[in-house]
Amino acid sequence: MNSVNDHCQRRRPAEAGSSDIEAGSPDPCGRGSSRVHDRVSEQAEYEPSEAPERILIPLTKYTDNTDTLLDLAMLLRGSSSDEPIRALTVVEHEGQQLDIGERYTSTGQPDVDGGRTDDQSALENQQLPNDQQTAADQQSEETEAKIADAEETLEETEEQAASAEVPIDTQTRVAYSVVTGIVRAIEENRITSVIMGWDTQRQFGQRLFGSTIDQLLEQTSELVVVANLTQPINTTERLVVVLPGRIAAHPGFYASVHMMKQMAKQLGIPLQYLLITGDQDQYEQLVESVDPETPFEIESIGGWNQFQSDSDDQFNEGDLVVALSPREGAQGWQSSLDDVPQHLAQQAPANVMVMYLSEDADASRSSHFVRME
Specify the CATH number for the domain of residue 127: 3.40.50.620
At residue 56, the pLDDT reads 97
At residue 97, the pLDDT reads 39
Classify residue 340: in a domain, yes or no: yes
Q: Say if residue 370 is exposed, middle or buried (CB neighbours under 10 Å; 0-12, 13-18, 19+).
A: middle
CA dihedral 312, 317, 320, 321 (to 10 degrees): 10
Domain hosting residue 273, numbered range: 231-373
At residue 37, the pLDDT reads 41
At residue 142, the pLDDT reads 73
Are both 88 and 201 inside the same structural domain?
A: yes
Classify residue 226: in a domain, yes or no: no
Who's near 329: CB < 8 A, 6+ residues apart? Answer: none
Classify residue 14: in a domain, yes or no: yes
Nearest residue to 238 (alpha-carbon basis) of 301, 193, 299 = 299
pLDDT less than 50: residues of the chain = 1-44, 46, 48, 95-117, 123, 204-208, 363-364
Are both 263 and 115 inside the same structural domain?
A: no
Distance of alpha carbon 115 from the chain centroid: 27
Q: Say if residue 244 is exposed, middle or buried (CB neighbours under 10 Å; 0-12, 13-18, 19+).
A: buried
At residue 6, the pLDDT reads 39
Domain boundary among 221, 245, 268: 221
Classify residue 165: in a domain, yes or no: yes
d(C-alpha 153, C-alpha 59), whole Å: 8
- Beta strand pairing call for 223-229 and 351-356: antiparallel
Are both 243 and 324 inside the same structural domain?
A: yes
Are both 236 and 211 inside the same structural domain?
A: no
Are both 148 and 285 inside the same structural domain?
A: no
Domain boundary among 12, 28, 45: 45
